[in-house]
Structure 1
Amino acid sequence: MIHYRKILELHDEGISLRGIAASTGNSRQKVTEILAIAEKKGLVCPLEEEMTDRWIEEFLFPEKTLEASGRQPLNFDYIHEELAKPNVTLSLLHHEYEAECRLKNKIPYSYRSFLRHYSRYADKYKATLRIRRKPGEIMEVDWAGSTAFIIDRDTGEKVKAYVFVATLPCSQLSYAEATLSMDLHSWITAHNNAYAYFGGSTQIIVPDNLKASVTKHTSKELVLNSTYREMADHYNTVVMPARVRSPKDKSSVEGAVGAISTWIIAALRNTHCFSIDELNEEVWRKLEEFNRRPFTRKKGSRLSAFEEEEKFALSPLPSTPYKISVWKTAKVRPDYHISVESMFYSVPYEYINRDVEVRLSDSLIEIYFNHMRVATHKRLYGKYGQLSTVRDHMPDNHKLYVDQTPEAAIEWAENIGTSTLKVVRYILDASTNEKQGLQSIFSLKKSERSYTKYEIERACKMIASMTNRPTVKSIQTILKNNKKNDAEQELKRKTEISKNNYGFTRGASYYGGKDK
């Protein structure tokens, strides 16, 4: 048996390698190897009483114990590294280990022994055990049961502050933030800040069944809050709420909540802050101390475990944090508009009387029907009752009415003829207000449905020759009369043609008589 403890203690006293080798009966090469591995694994003097030669040997050379059994040794570093990869489990690694043993004609360890040896290795050498939690896989979130407080400067009263907690189960690194409410805006903002603190996003978020995260959660159906689902999509993560009344589904954050309630909330019980920003500065100072506190049963801290074992596995954050938006439902009114906070936004008229979903952000209003976006508007602010109307959302008859402008009226008249243009200019100039004149021209334009451009131009030419004050009504009368006269003349012409169009008849001579 090598005297590992003596070697380490002599080295700590400053004895040379030659002196240690002579004192312990080991070669200088072996002594150098032991000291190098001990330094690499952080085993330094003074040593505790339970650190016997056998304990130190298992700590420095765990493979020796396994080799002594005649079984295929385990590569613990490889196992620990592979477990960090997505979907890799100990059962898969054990299956591959057994296949390797068969090729080398070695005896493999059973799965239970395989699991036990890895657990011992991870407990001694690594900050995290990757059997249950993979690095970068899950972030568990919740509100702390205990509350902090700030002091109102005016009244001196204590105002409750609620503490949001997020924990990464693999490394146990936690984030905490105080807010004045537990509403949706605070919930989403705290998530943004948590991801910024961790420097990346996880594959899965595990929240409780709060209204800010879950609308409905039964054994058959899960409906997430629309804003929360949108935030998860922004960070390319999946929301998997804990089962109702099942705190074990998020045991890490439940434990972190208890610890943070003690080491942060309770530690600040005598600290007086007068704003939520001041309180958060104190919370984050205590949080830094909390994450740097050494583990009680293994070396390292939450922060060192995160940096060594989990930080690499987080997904990169988007270029910009998620901007909160609010979802509402609305019914499309008969005038093909919806009302949102006393402002009115148009929707394609085909959706009249339909229920639609509305997404409100700081700058945009987006309208969805059956998860398909049908309209987008710039959000209106200021005086109530403002309208945002898109021309393409209108039915055709409404488009005609809205398109009535002096410029459009003159353009239309130019396409008809010079007489029509003269009449339109007169109506615009003679009307007491522009709207009245445009209404009259609109009535004239509707004549195109029943009359040709030639007929309209002819009627305008006739009315211009009769009076210097033409009206739309008089033009419409002439159009009707012209139509009637044209129809009568056409009928007369057809009648005359039918009278003059005799058929071929045989004369009397054909029958033996004499033609007269």
Structure 2
Amino acid sequence: MESAVDVVNKRVIGYLAEEVWTTVEALNAAIDDRVAEINTQIRRADGTTRWERFESDEAPLLAVLPDDGFATVEWKQLKVGRNYHVSCDSQYYSVPYTFAGQLLRVRLTAQSVTLFDGDQVVCEHPRRHGRKGQYSTVLAHAPKEHQGIDGLWSRQWFTDRARGFGPATEQVIAQILDRHVIEAQGYLDCQNILETLGKRSRQRLEAACQVLLNQNSAGSYSVLKRVMASIDSDHKAPRPVVPAAATRKPPPPAGARDDGAIQVRSADHYARGRSGEGV
């Protein structure tokens, strides 16, 4: 390898170093001429050219190039959620529901996401790009009856939990599940609402859900988070400013003496020379 680099440095770069070209095409043509000379005209110690050695020793061993170009591969180990989806780069891909809660190996390319259980391929999805939070769900991966699978998320699992927060929360959770074509796609949103927002304050979550119902608005984690923040801000708003009590003396009643003098005791009390009192 180092010998070949030295040959190119001397017979291509060094040979053409003093010449000037006005176009890239002309330069490439000159380089092609020099490379052709190295490969087909200059003979080695055994009398063969480099091209002759290639045709006799290497060309028969070459395989046909693949139809697709080389793709970089990234491997991850991801846990399957209770909604039988794995989260990868903020996108969600379904697997058969029996793998819920298990760790799977995931092979990522620019075009595909392949999930493995050991060396066995579980499923493959076209890789999603762009907007975060997209779902790639195969209907065959969903169970027929969620309630029959221990620990798996289901509609009843979420509505039962939401009922403990209040009727408004239960209704909003039901609306979120109804809004998705595939019900399981709403599970993660419901989990974040009940586990994250509800953990901070059950009362405020119930109040925020009631606000959405009153406004006939669609519920989601981000919408409820904003409504709860506004409720919290209202509670922390400063109280109205109350004017301080007046310190000015009220005017004297009609007919009262008003010569600016302030009398605490009678004049006789301060008279000098009273018996038994000093100055």
Greater helix share, structure number: 1
TM over 0.5: no
TM tier relative to shorter chain: 0.3 to 0.5
Task: Tell me the TM-score normalized by structure 2.
Answer: 0.41
